[in-house]
């Protein structure tokens, strides 16, 4: 018999943890819809040409798709699995622009695939939850404030530790580098974006290797070290003595975002001029979401503004989007023991059997309960009641239904209370109808 071995980077949840993930997804979806975002789903594959050139490592991370029966003379894969949801969304907008009403607000919750080196929080297959707003021609800057507020609303409805949304504007580093005389902005951005991984001294060294002077490199690193929870970052940037019109534009736009966020969600946003995002299509605001005190784990979401990703040559559709890395976030919380499902099955009631002859009646009782939205299953086999109760207990099923000489009775196996019950009217407590997310705090209370 062939031994089954796991494939790293493709996480699979056990049922109780999958319940946590599903409730996260349901809450996120409901919140997005409360804010007026419409759901779409795009195909899993896009032309490799469209997926490529979106960042330094994009080509390395794309999984190509090819038929196993393809001939030896066939070209290589022309299709690739999407590595994010923004690139396929931009294609979707172009393809369906004539049928969409702009500004178009969409959310999308799907799997994505990346050729990552698997490690904690880094997966080859994972679920993302994205929201984007795209307009035709021009996109007002106020959407750059709205999106992190929507994400904050979604996360605040979940059992998530304290978090912060760090924000920058790509025009700030671009204008700053150009003001320094560094015109290869893309290369500088990519090197500076590695500052958390390799440290500031190594970044300076690599910038000098790429053609910067020592002074230029050190100023670039000083810029990345600036942050604030208000608009004071502007004065800090000005103090570095670099001038450029693109820098001025970026500082003004980020100031507007920070000022508006301070009014609507004080403390939510932090201006952090180290944030760059590795993908090339971002042109304005860029975001990273971090769990406070767990920044070394990396971000659990992010996004930004893109002005030229969707264009048909006549009309450009600028957009801004932000995503939650659902798999990354849930796995982190589950692995730390912070959350778990209250049971491993949706079932709230197990109908016990006196003997196999009672199965038909038990199924009729189950149907009555299900008609009123109560998840039910009938015991797999007739056995001693103690054994059937143990079966329910192992799976976290809170209630067991019995047929007795006095009629139907239901037992809460947690408390031991057993009471008469009519399948046409009996209902469990609301919190027991469906599995719940249990947090560490709840268990200890």
Binding-site entries: 84-86, 114, 128, 132, 277, 281-282
CA 62 to chain centre: 19
Give φ, ψ of 141 to 5 degrees.
-70, -20
Dist. CA 53–CA 433, nearest whole Å: 49
Number of Cβ within a 10 Å radius of residue 138: 10
Look up residue 444 and give its DSSP letter: H
Sheet with 349-351, edge to edge strand ranges = 376-378, 349-351, 399-404, 407-412, 418-420
DSSP codes, 99-119:
G-PSSEEEEEEEEEE-----B
The DSSP 8-state label assigned to residue 55 in this structure reads B
Q: Rounded to an integer, what distance in angstroms lies between the CA atom of residue 9 and that of residue 403?
A: 48
Annotated binding site for L-histidine: 84-86, 114, 128, 132, 277, 281-282
Tokens describing residue 205: 């060294």
Q: Is 43 left (phi over 0), alpha (psi -120 to 50) or beta?
A: beta
Q: How far does CA 87 lie from the centroid of its chain?
A: 16
- Residue 238 in 3-state DSSP? helix
In the three-class reduction of DSSP (H, G, I as helix; E, B as strand; rest coil), residue 325 is classed as strand
């Amino acid at each position: 018999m062939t031994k089954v071995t796991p494939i790293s980077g493709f996480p699979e949840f056990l049922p109780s943890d999958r319940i946590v993930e599903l409730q996260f997804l349901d809450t996120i979806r409901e919140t997005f819809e409360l804010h007026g975002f419409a759901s779409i789903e795009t195909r899993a594959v896009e032309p490799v040409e469209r997926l490529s050139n979106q960042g330094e490592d994009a080509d390395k991370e794309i999984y190509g798709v090819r038929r196993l029966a393809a001939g030896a003379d066939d070209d290589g894969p022309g299709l690739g699995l999407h590595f994010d949801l923004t690139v396929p969304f931009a294609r979707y907008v172009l393809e369906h622009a004539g049928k969409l009403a702009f500004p178009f607000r969409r959310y999308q919750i799907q799997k994505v695939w990346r050729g990552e080196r698997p490690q904690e929080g880094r997966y080859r297959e994972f679920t993302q939850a994205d929201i984007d707003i795209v307009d035709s021609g021009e996109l007002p800057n106020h959407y750059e404030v709205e999106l992190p507020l929507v994400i904050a609303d979604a996360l605040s409805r979940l059992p998530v530790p304290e978090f912060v949304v760090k924000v920058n504007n790509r025009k700030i580093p671009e204008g700053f580098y150009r003001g320094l005389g560094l015109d290869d902005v893309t290369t500088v951005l990519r090197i500076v974006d590695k500052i958390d991984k390799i440290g500031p001294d190594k970044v300076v060294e690599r910038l000098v290797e790429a053609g910067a002077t020592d002074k230029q490199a050190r100023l670039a690193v000083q810029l990345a070290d600036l942050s604030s929870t208000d608009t004071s970052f502007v004065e800090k940037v000005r103090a570095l003595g670099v001038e450029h019109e693109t820098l001025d534009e970026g500082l003004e736009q980020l100031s507007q975002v920070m000022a508006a966020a301070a009014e609507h969600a004080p403390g939510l946003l932090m201006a952090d001029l180290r944030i760059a995002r590795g993908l090339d299509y971002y042109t304005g605001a860029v975001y990273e979401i971090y769990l406070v005190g767990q920044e070394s784990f990396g971000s659990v979401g992010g996004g930004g503004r893109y002005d030229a990703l969707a264009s048909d040559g006549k009309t450009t559709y600028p957009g801004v989007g932000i995503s939650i890395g659902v798999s990354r976030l849930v796995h982190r919380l589950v692995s730390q023991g912070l959350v778990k499902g209250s049971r491993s099955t949706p079932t709230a009631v197990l109908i016990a059997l006196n003997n196999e002859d009672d199965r038909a009646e038990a199924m009729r009782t189950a149907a009555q309960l299900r008609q009123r939205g109560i998840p039910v299953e009938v015991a797999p086999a007739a056995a001693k009641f103690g054994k059937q109760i143990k079966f329910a207990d192992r799976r976290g099923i809170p209630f067991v239904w019995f047929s007795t000489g006095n009629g139907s009775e239901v037992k809460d196996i947690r408390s031991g209370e057993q009471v008469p019950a009519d399948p046409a009217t009996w209902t469990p407590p609301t919190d027991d109808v469906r599995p719940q997310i249990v947090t560490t705090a709840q268990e200890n209370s």
